[in-house]
Amino acid sequence: MAHKIIFYGFSFLTLIAALSVVLSRHPVRAVLSLVLTFFGAAGLWLLLQAEFLGIVLILVYVGAVMVLFLFVVMMLDVKIAALKEGFTAYAGVGVMFALLALYFFMRFIGPENFGLSEYAAPPCGECRGK
């Protein structure tokens, strides 16, 4: 039971941090949210008993790549006000593409595509454990 709670905690953390990366207006906050996303993904790897992948994710991506991203973002002179000006003009197009993507996700990656109905049933002898 504790594993499920920890799994859902790391999953929730990863999803919220990933949404924060996409929706954040400030580039430094987006990079820091990406670091938090990587920590959540590393926690999920550790729960799957893939310790090497979890540690490599933290050391390589957070330790090296994210430090480089953060350095580059802080060196840029980003005008936040200029980024906010054209947002509402393209909001309708963004919502349309988001709904279209949601439709395709539900249509092609839906639960009916992952069922066992496409496979043949095992012979009766194997069903009874003989």
Structure confidence by residue, pLDDT tens digits, 60-96: 888 888 888 888 887 877 676 666 676 677 788 889 9
28, two tokens: 């430094």
Q: Residue 91: what pLDDT? A: 82
In a domain, 5, yes or no: yes
Closest listed residue to residue 18, CA positions, set 5, 35, 2, 1 = 35
Contact 83, 25 (CB under 8 A): yes
63 and 2 in one domain? yes
20 and 72 in one domain? yes
In a domain, 94, yes or no: yes
Q: Could you read off the pLDDT of 91-126 as tens digits, one per residue?
A: 888 899 999 998 988 888 766 666 666 666 666 665
105 and 46 in one domain? no
Q: Which residues of 20-33 are buried (b: 16+ CB within 10 A; e: fewer)?
A: bbeeeeebeebbbb
Contact 13, 40 (CB under 8 A): yes
User: How many domains would you assign to the chain?
Assistant: 2
Predicted TM-score (pTM) of this structure: 0.62
58 and 3 in one domain? yes
Q: Residue 74: what pLDDT? A: 79
The set of residues, in sequence order, having a beta carbon less than 8 Å from that of 27 and lying 6+ positions away, is: 73, 76, 78
12, two tokens: 């929730």
Q: Where in the sequence is the domain holding 87, given as residue range(s)? A: 79-115
66 and 4 in one domain? yes
Tokens 């639960």 map to which residue? Answer: 111
In a domain, 130, yes or no: no
